[in-house]
């Protein structure tokens, strides 16, 4: 059997220190301006599944903002974080490392550390009731049966978070819902996904830019 190659202890320690330093940079105050937390809901370790399409949007958003290589793990909120500038505003991108049903714990802790209200926290998540590729951005409202959103509402003690819903379609048979959301996109769906992620990113950035120029309230 072959052996697994591991870097020397000194390099492993240097890597840990670098990741810790990058994580700390997320919480440092930048220049004056509005700050927003953008959370992509999903299940860690399950990329490419319909239920984690919110995390896919965050990946595209990070690439668009030039921070795709700057994700850093933060143990305080059990999430991967990246900070980016958008004009005079600051965005903190978040991918929870907890399961979907507990995503809210990561989101709420990050909002607390950043000193943000629920209105300043964007949630990006899948939507069974919209066909694949259909997007909708709304301010606040109920969880509509989405466990990740329900967790966020509970942990933030508010339902005022703006949400970008990304359609994944609903299977015809009710018993197939769980397998559908936890399953990976089919080859034909994967061909449609890149432009969907682009449009989702456009919609999100346009909305944040507009709100950054207006009052601080969630309007």
Per-residue pLDDT band at 202 (split at 50, 70, 90):
very high
Residue 51 falls in the annotated catalytic set: yes
Q: Which residues pair with 125 in a beta bridge?
A: 165
Q: Indicate the angle between helix axes 103-114 and 147-156, nearest 10 degrees.
A: 40
Nearby residues of 33 by Cβ (< 8 Å), 6 or more positions away:
87, 88, 89, 90, 212
Domains and CATH numbers, the chain: 35-213 (3.40.50.1470)
Task: Assign 93 to helix, strand or coil.
Answer: strand
Residue-wise pLDDT tens digits, 160-173:
999 999 999 998 88
| pLDDT, tens only, 142-163 | 888 899 999 999 999 999 999 9
| Dihedral (Cα; 41, 44, 47, 50), 10-degree rounding | -40
Mean pLDDT of 44-61: 94
Q: Cα separation of 180 and 170, whole Å?
A: 8
Q: Which two tokens stand for residue 146?
A: 């989405």
- Residue 8: pLDDT band (50, 70, 90) is low
Mean pLDDT, rounded, for 91-109: 97
Alpha-helix residue ranges (DSSP H) falling in the chain? 9-27, 53-64, 103-114, 147-156, 177-182, 187-212
| Tokens at 118, concatenated | 């629920």
According to DSSP, the residues that pair with 36 across neighbouring strands are: 91
Which band of pLDDT confidence, cut at 50, 70 and 90, is reported for residue 215?
low
pLDDT on residue 172: 85
Mean pLDDT of the 90-106 span: 96
Q: Which H or E run includes 123? A: strand 121-127
CB atoms within 10 A of CB 96: 29
Residue 26: strand pairing partners: none
Instruction: Kindly compute the dihedral angle of the four CA atoms of residues 88, 214, 93, 105, in this order, to the nearest 10 degrees.
Output: 140
Portion of the chain with pLDDT greater than 70, in percent: 82
Q: 60 pLDDT band (50/70/90 cuts)?
A: very high
């Amino acid at each position: 059997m072959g052996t697994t190659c591991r870097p020397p202890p000194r390099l492993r320690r240097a890597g840990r220190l670098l990741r810790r330093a990058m994580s700390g940079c997320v919480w440092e105050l930048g220049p004056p301006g509005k700050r927003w937390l953008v959370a992509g809901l999903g299940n860690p370790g399950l990329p490419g599944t319909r239920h984690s399409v919110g995390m896919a949007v965050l990946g595209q958003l990070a690439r668009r903002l030039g921070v795709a290589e700057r994700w850093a793990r933060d143990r305080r909120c059990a999430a991967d974080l990246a900070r980016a500038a958008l004009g005079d505003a600051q965005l903190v991108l978040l991918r929870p490392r907890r399961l979907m049903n507990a995503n809210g714990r990561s989101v709420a802790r990050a909002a607390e550390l950043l000193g943000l209200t629920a209105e300043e926290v964007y949630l990006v998540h899948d939507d069974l009731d919209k066909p694949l590729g259909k997007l909708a951005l709304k301010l606040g409202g109920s969880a509509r049966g989405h466990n990740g959103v329900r967790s966020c509402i509970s942990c933030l003690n508010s339902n005022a978070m703006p949400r970008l819903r990304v359609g994944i379609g609903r299977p015809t048979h009710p018993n197939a819902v769980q397998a559908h959301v936890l399953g990976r996109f089919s080859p034909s769906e994967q061909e449609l996904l890149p432009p969907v992620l682009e449009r989702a990113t456009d919609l999100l950035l346009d909305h944040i830019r507009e709100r950054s120029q207006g009052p601080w309230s969630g309007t």
